[in-house]
Amino acid sequence: MADPSYDELIGQAKDHIWMSHAQFRDREDPTSLGIAMKGEGCYVIDHQGKRYLDATGGSHCCAVGHGRKEIAEAVYKQMLDLEFSGSGLVPFTNAPTAKLSKKLAQLTPGNLSRVFYTLSGSEAVEAALKIVRQYHAQGDNPKKYKVLYRNYSHHGYTWGAMSVSGDPAIRSPIFEPTIPMGVVVPEANPYRCLYCTGTCNLGCARSIEATIEYEDPDSIAAIIVEPIAKGAVVPPPEYWPMVREMCDRHNILLIADEVVTAFGRTGTWFGGDHWDLIPDLMVLGKTLGSGYQPIGAVVATDEVFERFLGDPDRTLIQSHTLGNHPVVSVAALTNLEIIERENLVERAAQMAPYFRSQLETLQEHSVVGDVRSIGLLAEVELVKDKGTKEPLGGKEVGRKLTRFMVDNGLYMRCGGEKLSIHPSLIITEEEINEMVSIFDKTLTYAEREFAKV
């Protein structure tokens, strides 16, 4: 059977794929949905051979760049050897998963050393929430069930992950009631701080302590946090030591969601490394497989894991049939080997000042409220007015800005309020220049079309 033409393919996609984040409903508009055919380094190439500079690192995933033959070959070889080995019902694991687990135990800080595998970040968050509940149920304080989460945080779209996410893009009244475990606390966002104007008074951290007291420490099982929120929101230096100390004092497990920030994104192996933050559970996803295979994981400390040993009834009650997958593990292992061999973590740290300095030039636009970055993670907040900080627009503005950027050769989306930028860790200075010049044009267009006059 002959391959379908591009028009046929786009028709099939528009008629039958239920995409997330947008409707792509207009069958007649050929520009509203593209078909990516190939990836090379920091570029994605479409059916007509047009090249797009990937400013999103394939949705935060692609640390090592697109088109790595080494990963493809490792996956191919593993598929020929053994495509799957089961996930625990039979008493077998497989070699790539054993090697990957040792590698993760070596890379992660402190005594995080025991890895539970899933196929996505959201599933890893789900698993972490269940580990927390069972951990306390089998310990001294079985009444602990609440999970603190921060406003505007994003931990995934599944029901449990949604129940502990503060991102309004995830939460909708349609899904209420959510699972009754989540208790919201404020984010630590210097640009939109609720507590201080000017000098930081650490009100955001103190309000967590106040919430713990109000809710009753004996009811709180865990707090889930992104060490650096994915909008490149960096808390004040005292913040993480204070939160870690509160958790220790109240027997609250600290879950660090490093789905976005792990493996060099912020210029260190893990986002929490900037403060020597050692969590009790670390959640991984995205960059763990660089998008070459779907993978998520929870890494637990020895102390947490030991609570699940002894009587067979203490065994963790959580499983994913396709977890511990040898093909997925070999892709992740090869990805981590490339990150290590090519010193991509150090490279991200070295490239960070140049990346920042180029993005800073966008401040000149009247629609830019804030430019934040750490490592190769950045966010440009778009506002109608720099003084009031009113967001520039919603989904419709976002759709138009997205179209403008794509037409100008950027692999990128915008929801209307911000540009979230996280290229592959191999990006060069020339590619940063190209990317920033397209943002510059886009912001000129935004000023003309959407800003207050």
Ligand X SMILES: Cc1ncc(COP(=O)(O)O)c(C=O)c1O
Smallest Cα–Cα separation from 429: which of 350, 318, 367, 374? 350
Give the span between the Cα atoms of 140 and 350, in whole angstroms: 47
Give the span between the Cα atoms of 150 and 152, in whole angstroms: 6
Q: Which 252-271 positions form the footprint of ligand X (CB under 6 A)?
A: 257, 259-260
H or E stretch including 330? helix 326-341
- The encoded tokens of residue 125 equal 């968050």
User: For residues 186 and 227, which CB has a smaller minimum distance to ligand X in the complex?
Assistant: 227
Shortest reach from residue 229's CB to ligand X, in Å: 8
**237-266: string of b/e by CB count within 10 Å (b at 16+)?**
eebbebbbebbeebebbbbbbbbbbbbbbb
* CA dist 230 → 60, 245, 252, 354 (Å): 9, 24, 24, 20
User: For residues 101 and 118, which CB has a smaller minimum distance to ligand X in the complex?
Assistant: 118
Q: Which stretch binds ligand X (CB under 6 A): 6-14, 95-103, 104-112, 152-160?
A: 152-160
Shortest reach from residue 288's CB to ligand X, in Å: 10
Shortest reach from residue 445's CB to ligand X, in Å: 27
Binding mask 201-240 toward ligand X (x if CB under 6 A, else -) reads -------------------------x---x----------
Residue nearest to ligand X (CB): 121
Q: Indicate which single residue of 32, 78, 101, 122 sits in contact with ligand X (rule: CB under 6 A).
A: 122
Phi and psi torsions of 302, nearest 5°: -60, -40
Q: Indicate which single residue of 144, 155, 347, 422 sits in contact with ligand X (rule: CB under 6 A).
A: 155
Q: Which stretch binds ligand X (CB under 6 A): 13-21, 93-101, 150-158, 349-357?
A: 150-158
Q: Which stretch binds ligand X (CB under 6 A): 80-88, 149-157, 309-317, 318-326?
A: 149-157
User: For residues 264 and 285, which CB has a smaller minimum distance to ligand X in the complex?
Assistant: 285
- The encoded tokens of residue 213 equal 């007291």
The number of residues making up the chain comes to 453
Provide the sign of the torsion angle of the four alpha carbons 173, 179, 182, 188, taken in this order.
negative
Size of the site for ligand X (CB under 6 A): 13
Contact 413, 398 (CB under 8 A): yes
Q: Which stretch binds ligand X (CB under 6 A): 148-156, 210-218, 235-243, 347-355?
A: 148-156
Based on the shown chain and the rule CB under 6 A, indicate whether residue 121 belongs to the binding site for ligand X: yes
Which residues contribute to the site for ligand X (CB under 6 A)? 120-122, 125, 154-156, 226, 230, 257, 259-260, 285
